[in-house]
Amino acid sequence: MKSFKQTSLFAAAAFFTFACGQPTETVETSEAQEVAEAEGQTLTIQPEATMIAWRGYKPTGQHFGKIPATEGTLVVEGNTLAGGTFTFDITGLKIEDMEETDDSYGKLWGHLQSADFFDAENYPTATFEITGVEPFTGDDQIQDVEQFATENTPLAASELSPEAPTHWISGNLTMRGTTKNIKFPAAVSLENGKVMAKAGFNIDRTAWGLSYQDESATADKVKDRFIYNTVSLQLEVAAD
């Protein structure tokens, strides 16, 4: 039985009031992998229907919002997803739990864009390149792992995953000049020349150098002054 162990990945409290501690529950992560050249029909993503929704956590609260896609393609061989690449605009990040007119919105947005988190001045975009696509079988499991408990413990992997995953997607996620390969369950449909895909998973922001107020220090946990390293992501993609 294949078990998908969620270890650690993405986020920034502000981009994510992220936070997380040990043990953690994030997607399977490894070093960057070679992107195979896929052959088949190339579809163009619909930017208005493609985005990442994010949610970051700290013991005293949560922040959530979206990051828009600017461009991307998917490659389809027959009725099979074979490859793809997407670019997301970090500077276009939106915070949806507060009004843009609030002073706190500007402060949080600016902090997320700063060198404490995304360092958007030097790395204004994030990219994801598919390196592998495997069927999700009836024996596959999404394993939930215990996290440090507070009033705002991050959502479990099984809560974020699509209701009926069809595939495991592997790909290189690049943020802040760092590339890591991640693997997560997704629900993919191909119909009438159009691809729709949904996925939900956790990542550990510190794997990309987003280490502001991480939860590694026990003393900080006791004081509830950390940001979970775990950030929840939900991805929606449409291409034709």
Would you state the pLDDT for residue 202?
A: 93
Would you state the pLDDT for residue 90?
A: 97
- Tell me the two tokens of residue 89: 């605009």
In the chain (240 residues long), the average pLDDT of successive 10-residue segments reads 35 34 56 81 93 94 96 91 94 97 96 96 97 91 85 93 93 95 94 92 93 80 85 94
Output the CA–CA distances (angstroms, integers) from residue 17 to 8, 59, 77, 128, 156, in the order listed. Answer: 16, 10, 40, 22, 17
Q: What is the number of other CB atoms lying within 10 angstroms of the CB of residue 40?
A: 14
Instruction: Tell me how long the chain is.
Output: 240
Domain boundaries defined on the chain: 3-239
Q: What is the number of other CB atoms lying within 10 angstroms of the CB of residue 163?
A: 6
CA atoms within 13 A on the CB side of 240: 7
Q: What is the number of other CB atoms lying within 10 angstroms of the CB of residue 189?
A: 11
* Residues in Cβ contact with 114 at an 8 Å cutoff, skipping those fewer than 6 apart: 120
Task: Assess contact for 103 and 96: CB atoms under 8 A.
Answer: no
Tell me the β-bridge partners of 65: 54, 95
Homologous superfamily in CATH for domain 3-239: Lipid/polyisoprenoid-binding, YceI-like (2.40.128.110)
Would you state the pLDDT for residue 26?
A: 58
> Given phi > 0 = left and psi -120 to 50 = alpha, else beta, which region is 84?
left
